[in-house]
Structure 1
């Protein structure tokens, strides 16, 4: 019988509990060393290095790095009608969600008499949306990154993705690009893709930011190149916590647990419950669900759920269960309970929170609306899901009238004097008054 890892929180030493919270991407040092020569090659050789990387890492001899516009425009013909309909539905849902998320472009308020203060939002100039391909096709990542970028009004949106065996991007990704209005897809993956958009090559444009999920290789390159390009929100190997109680069938918890564990052996997936019966019933249901999968994905799931990065966590109480959940700060959190909304106040840290037995992870991942690019590695404790705000920047706006200046300047002068900044102090002193007194009345 397949072994499911079982972790009883009441019996774990602090070090053992801490080990459960660790992720496969926690230590990037081996990857940091490995990607350094890749980055150096792309910086020095440009396109030639990208072609060489495609040959070495993807097993593809590339004739070109940019997908022809015609191949993007005609991609729909290569797809079956069911997938085309699903893509159109997803793009529409994601667009509507992010349009509703857009902030007011400019707001000003006289919060202090005689002064107008507020914010102005403007889009970033350029962004590269990374669409991974390592263990399969992931065109949904193109939707979840590029749609928010275009809704936000980013100046130039490009897609970078590893080439497939046929030397191009998969048809679904190309169709999504055409649907969104993107005509730039570049064939490069992993660390070399980050380097390409960080430095720019003869073909690939330099971008201000890169977003999208990927492997530790991608994360390592982002970290090393963070001074050259905004690395975007962290999005590494998939991770999931399913919380379940006895108000829903335990088999449903097992079904949901397998969703993220099939991504790859570096994924993390835990069922957390305070009910021993739920734990036992879910464990008993998992092997049967593996039999309904192909060996490739089931193999990943078996590795994850039988190791130290997955399995079943039994908590001594509901409060203890959510203490662990908050400490873990998972990318995905599914709350399988008919009282899910009552449990929501107990949750502080999670990339996304899916409430109730019908809020299936695949619906959220593909067609619901919010982006599935979520913080991983415990960063959900401080970071947020990808959104339009990742493609916008905020400038503070201020206007100070003469009356407000005269009221506020003495306090500013006191701060400047205390901190030893003489130019600051002079800028709010009688020197300013004297300069303005000589200006035309309209400029005072």
Structure 2
């Protein structure tokens, strides 16, 4: 059952406890296991990947099983309904349209003998991790693959854990193809991250790895960062809802359960000024759970990380939300746009009574791979920028170099770097001798 609390001090303590839920006492032990996997894959390539897939996923694969075949990709279209295919295509359209608006533009600015600019270029290869296990996630495929495509990444590869009988969910395979990815490998866990980071005989080494996963995937991404780039260290998902007396309790309860059904560590939080709404949401959640297909998992999540808090004002709710910095924030209030300027930290913000988080999860367009566990204080959603890097463009004319030579000389001497100063001085002398030739 969702707990209801009313004391502000207790609310703050509970929110902090929930935010800290990823601080696993077993992290050191798990990290040691991940290090072992990373080193084995780095040394042994495919052999280690197959070994750990058998050990951790109970799937005995051969090398030729690693890459999903063209015939499997074709067959996937026969295994999804027309309605699902249409939904995937609508999501693709919306996600691509949104991300195309986010592509940063290269620029060059010409001044008095000085040219400055910034040039954006995509990475050569991107590895996209799509989790398996409790559910299939075609939406995660789209949210990772489409920004990479829009960024112009020439080689995009997906890794995802194999299911029973070495299978990959058909919706995942269709989503990948609709997003422009044909290169898919049936491998998950830390061994998949290692294969992408270091390369194997079969799986290519990439430049950037994106996508959420379990604690072993997250630790592997953390440990290979520097060898490759990563998007973020994603933790369990979370939603925080701010609701006033006009919110529909059934809707709010459904939104809380929609988050809790993801994972036993998912967090579902309601902050409201109305004690009647709190009681009605609590009762509605109980009713909705009665025939829930994922009842056990969902109940576990709300028992540990579910919360309904009655607060004195919407302003206090906003303050508490900013301190928590939720991955998803729903403003189920009459005037959400009035609250928006005061929201400082949230991964994605859903405004109004008719905007559930589910629209953002699937097809609104903005990315659903978001910062968790308070990381929204400093981090942002996955986007086109994740797959781009930028280079500075600098050009000085002889005259412009002459004008700044003195300042460079002073700064170089202050840092004890005489060759820095000399590199400018020699050019000035040569330019004076040759008559300032460009």
* Same-fold call, TM cutoff 0.5: yes
Deviation of 1:263 (Å): 0.6
CA-based RMSD of the aligned residues comes to: 2.0
Q: CA deviation at 1:328?
A: 1.2
Q: Is the contact between residue 130 and residue 160 of structure 1 (CA under 8 Å) also seen in structure 2?
A: yes
For 2:217 and 2:366, locate their aligned partners in 1 and report how far apart those are by CA, in whole Å. Answer: 23
Determine if contact 1:9/1:316 at 8 Å carries over to the other structure: no
In structure 2, what is the Cα distance between the partners aligned to 1:354 and 1:409? 53
TM-superposition CA deviations, 1:187-245 (whole Å, max 9, x none): 11111111111111111111111101111111111112223221222322211111111
Partner of 1:127: 126
- Contact 1:75/1:171 (CA < 8 Å) preserved in 2? yes
Structure 1 CA distance for aligned equivalents of residues 137 and 257 of structure 2: 18
Report the CA distance shift for 1:160/1:437 in structure 2 as closer, same or farther (over 3 A): same
Are residue 303 (structure 1) and residue 304 (structure 2) matched? no
1:30 Cα deviation (Å)?
Answer: 3.7
For residue 171 of structure 1, report the CA deviation from its aligned partner: 1.2
Please name the residue that 1:321 is paired with. Answer: 317
Structure 1, 132-141 or 276-285: larger mean CA deviation: 276-285
CA contact (8 A) 2:209 2:231 kept: yes
Moved more, 369-378 or 5-14: 5-14
User: Are 1:404 and 2:400 matched, yes or no?
Assistant: yes
TM-score, length basis structure 1: 0.93
Paired residues, what number? 435
Matches within 5 A, 1:50-89: 50-63=49-62, 64-89=65-90
1:170-185 → structure 2 map (5 Å cutoff): 170-185=169-184
Q: CA deviation at 1:13?
A: 8.7
Q: 2:116 matched to which residue of 1?
A: 117
2:95–2:363 Cα contact (<8 Å) kept = yes
**Which has the larger displacement, 381-390 or 91-100?**
91-100
Unaligned runs of 5+ in 1: none
SS at match of 1:119: strand
Aligned equivalents of 1:122, 1:246: Cα separation in 2: 49
Structure 2 counterpart of 1:433: 428
Q: Is the 8 A contact 1:21 1:327 kept in 2?
A: no
CA distance in 2, matches of 1:17, 1:437: 68
Superposed displacement of residue 17, structure 1 = 5.2
1:4 maps to 2
| Farther off after superposition, 408-417 or 158-167 | 408-417
Determine the C-alpha separation between the residues in 2 that align with 1:190 and 1:198: 13
Q: Is the 8 A contact 1:72 1:177 kept in 2?
A: no
Gaps of 5+ in 2: none
3-state SS of paired residue (1:428): helix
Distance 1:379 1:150 in 2: 26
Q: Does residue 227 of the first structure (1) align with residue 226 of the second (2)?
A: yes
* Residue 17 of structure 2 is aligned to residue 22 of structure 1: no
Query: 1:108 maps to what in 2?
Result: 108
What SS is found at the alignment partner of 2:67? coil
1:39 maps onto 2:35 in alignment: no
